[in-house]
Amino acid sequence: MRPPCELVVRYVLPAFRSLVARELAENHHLSQMVVAERLGITQAAVSYYLDSKRGARTTKQLESVPSIRKVAEGIATQRFSFTNAMSKFCELCIALRKSSFICDLQHGERRVA
Protein backbone atom coordinates (compact mmCIF):
# COMPACT_ATOMS: atom_id res chain seq x y z
CA MET A 1 0.00 0.00 0.00
CA ARG A 2 1.29 3.44 -0.91
CA PRO A 3 0.66 6.49 1.27
CA PRO A 4 -1.65 9.11 -0.29
CA CYS A 5 1.15 11.67 -0.70
CA GLU A 6 3.15 9.25 -2.83
CA LEU A 7 0.17 8.72 -5.12
CA VAL A 8 -0.38 12.46 -5.38
CA VAL A 9 3.24 13.09 -6.35
CA ARG A 10 3.23 10.24 -8.84
CA TYR A 11 -0.14 10.84 -10.52
CA VAL A 12 -1.88 14.06 -9.46
CA LEU A 13 1.00 16.55 -9.57
CA PRO A 14 2.00 15.65 -13.17
CA ALA A 15 -1.67 15.85 -14.24
CA PHE A 16 -2.07 19.19 -12.46
CA ARG A 17 1.06 20.57 -14.15
CA SER A 18 -0.07 19.20 -17.49
CA LEU A 19 -3.46 20.89 -17.26
CA VAL A 20 -2.00 24.19 -16.06
CA ALA A 21 0.71 24.11 -18.74
CA ARG A 22 -1.88 23.42 -21.43
CA GLU A 23 -4.13 26.21 -20.13
CA LEU A 24 -1.21 28.68 -20.08
CA ALA A 25 0.01 27.74 -23.56
CA GLU A 26 -3.32 27.39 -25.34
CA ASN A 27 -5.62 29.89 -23.66
CA HIS A 28 -3.14 32.50 -22.47
CA HIS A 29 -0.78 32.12 -25.46
CA LEU A 30 2.39 31.84 -23.40
CA SER A 31 5.47 30.22 -24.94
CA GLN A 32 6.79 26.94 -23.56
CA MET A 33 9.75 28.83 -22.09
CA VAL A 34 7.50 31.26 -20.23
CA VAL A 35 5.25 28.41 -19.04
CA ALA A 36 8.32 26.53 -17.80
CA GLU A 37 9.61 29.58 -15.98
CA ARG A 38 6.27 30.28 -14.30
CA LEU A 39 5.83 26.63 -13.23
CA GLY A 40 9.43 26.20 -12.12
CA ILE A 41 10.06 23.32 -14.52
CA THR A 42 12.05 22.86 -17.72
CA GLN A 43 10.86 23.66 -21.21
CA ALA A 44 11.31 19.97 -22.05
CA ALA A 45 8.89 19.04 -19.25
CA VAL A 46 6.35 21.53 -20.63
CA SER A 47 6.73 19.92 -24.05
CA TYR A 48 6.06 16.50 -22.54
CA TYR A 49 2.98 17.83 -20.73
CA LEU A 50 1.61 19.46 -23.88
CA ASP A 51 2.18 16.25 -25.88
CA SER A 52 0.42 14.22 -23.14
CA LYS A 53 3.57 12.22 -22.44
CA ARG A 54 3.44 13.08 -18.74
CA GLY A 55 0.44 13.18 -16.49
CA ALA A 56 -1.88 11.68 -19.09
CA ARG A 57 -3.23 8.90 -16.88
CA THR A 58 -4.91 11.24 -14.40
CA THR A 59 -5.39 14.33 -16.58
CA LYS A 60 -8.79 13.26 -17.91
CA GLN A 61 -10.07 12.78 -14.38
CA LEU A 62 -8.96 16.27 -13.29
CA GLU A 63 -10.02 18.26 -16.37
CA SER A 64 -13.30 19.34 -14.83
CA VAL A 65 -11.76 20.70 -11.62
CA PRO A 66 -12.42 24.48 -11.73
CA SER A 67 -9.52 25.41 -9.45
CA ILE A 68 -7.03 24.36 -12.14
CA ARG A 69 -8.27 27.08 -14.50
CA LYS A 70 -8.14 29.59 -11.65
CA VAL A 71 -4.53 28.64 -10.89
CA ALA A 72 -3.58 28.96 -14.56
CA GLU A 73 -5.26 32.35 -14.80
CA GLY A 74 -3.51 33.52 -11.64
CA ILE A 75 -0.16 32.37 -13.02
CA ALA A 76 -0.81 33.88 -16.47
CA THR A 77 -1.75 37.28 -15.03
CA GLN A 78 1.05 37.02 -12.46
CA ARG A 79 -1.53 37.52 -9.73
CA PHE A 80 -0.29 34.28 -8.14
CA SER A 81 3.26 33.77 -7.00
CA PHE A 82 4.81 30.32 -7.20
CA THR A 83 3.93 29.93 -3.50
CA ASN A 84 0.30 30.92 -4.09
CA ALA A 85 0.01 28.42 -6.94
CA MET A 86 1.43 25.63 -4.81
CA SER A 87 -0.95 26.55 -2.00
CA LYS A 88 -3.82 26.11 -4.46
CA PHE A 89 -2.39 22.73 -5.42
CA CYS A 90 -2.30 21.77 -1.74
CA GLU A 91 -5.96 22.77 -1.44
CA LEU A 92 -6.75 20.54 -4.42
CA CYS A 93 -4.80 17.69 -2.85
CA ILE A 94 -6.72 18.04 0.43
CA ALA A 95 -10.04 18.05 -1.43
CA LEU A 96 -9.03 14.96 -3.43
CA ARG A 97 -7.99 13.17 -0.26
CA LYS A 98 -11.38 13.91 1.30
CA SER A 99 -13.11 12.44 -1.75
CA SER A 100 -12.56 8.89 -2.96
CA PHE A 101 -10.18 10.05 -5.70
CA ILE A 102 -6.92 9.02 -3.99
CA CYS A 103 -8.40 5.72 -2.86
CA ASP A 104 -9.50 5.09 -6.45
CA LEU A 105 -5.93 5.77 -7.62
CA GLN A 106 -4.67 3.20 -5.12
CA HIS A 107 -7.12 0.59 -6.41
CA GLY A 108 -6.38 1.46 -10.05
CA GLU A 109 -2.67 1.02 -9.38
CA ARG A 110 -3.32 -2.47 -8.00
CA ARG A 111 -5.27 -3.44 -11.12
CA VAL A 112 -2.56 -2.13 -13.45
CA ALA A 113 0.38 -3.63 -11.55
Q: How crowded is residue 88: how many other Cβ atoms within 10 Å of its Cβ?
A: 19
pLDDT at 22 over 70: yes
- Grade residue 113 by pLDDT with cuts at 50, 70 and 90: very low
Closest CA to 19 of 83, 62, 51, 81: 62
Q: What angle do CA 97, 103, 107 make, to 5 degrees?
A: 160
* CA–CA distances in Å: residue 48 to residues 4, 17, 27, 32, 41: 25, 11, 18, 11, 11
Q: Is the dihedral of CA 13, 18, 24, 27 positive or negative?
A: negative
- Rounded to whole angstroms, the Cα distance separating 77 from 110 reads 40
pLDDT digits (tens, 9 = 90+) for 40-88: 999 999 999 998 877 677 888 888 788 888 888 999 999 988 888 889 8
- Grade residue 108 by pLDDT with cuts at 50, 70 and 90: low
pTM, rounded to two decimals: 0.81
Structural contact between residues 50 and 21, judged by C-beta atoms closer than 8 angstroms: yes
- Grade residue 112 by pLDDT with cuts at 50, 70 and 90: very low
Give the residue extent of every domain in the chain.
Answer: 4-107
DSSP state of 55: S
